[in-house]
Amino acid sequence: MILKVTPKVIILVGPGTNCDEETLFSLRYLGAEPYVYLLREIKKNPKKIHDFGAIVIPGGFSYGDYVAAGRMFAREMELFLGKELERFLKKGGFILGICNGFQILVSSLLLPGLKEWFLPPRVSLISNDSMQYEDRWVFLRVEKKDVFWFKGLPSVIELPVAHAEGKFFAPKTTIQALKRNKQIALRYVMPDGTYAKYPYNPNGSLEGIAAITDKTGQILGMMPHPERFFFSEQNPLRDSIYPWGRKIFANLIKEIKRI
């Protein structure tokens, strides 16, 4: 049963975040009640996160990516919010990490979450094979259609990427475990959905992995930016296609109403 309630979403940001306004607009446009909070504000009252149905960590360059992309933000989040985040997830909450947010989720070990959150094995998002910042539209094959995030999406969608450290890297054993658990959510592909090399795989990600979930499906980390494809006119490839980024956010809001 879907209740007629306004879903509340917290957008968690820090120094260097720069996609919060687009994320705020997207959620508000779809009828959610989003709030932007600095990580340092939430550190003072970690229980505040339980007022929300979902946490979104948007893209950018938190703390300038000076140590590694997302590493400092992730460490603070793990130390000061770790216990409350586990409680939040056990109560049925959701977490979406986009680009830098994905980097934060893997650095904190919330992902891959093969067995439990904040525990190994570790996956990484490292420097692009091209050794340069990649800002382009990509084609993505939806691998995990049984999870709410991607309901109603076709087999191949388009979204933009913009990152310098987006190559998904993990030991073979970890990738095999992700496959067994069906945690690989999106892969970079050619327009026809087949295996892609650069530039269609913009960063050299192993097996073209562009997004993963934890074992429960409550956490999604993705390098592509759904907030940058919210209107059809934003897509330079095909201006008549449905904006798939909007659909991902709409699916999240619909799912929050169920909990």
Catalytic positions = 99, 225, 227
Task: Tokens for 50, please give them.
Answer: 């339980």
Let me know: does 210 contact 228? Beta carbons within 8 Å. Answer: no
Cα separation of 251 and 144, whole Å? 14
Closest residue by Cα to residue 221 from 142, 126, 74, 104:
104
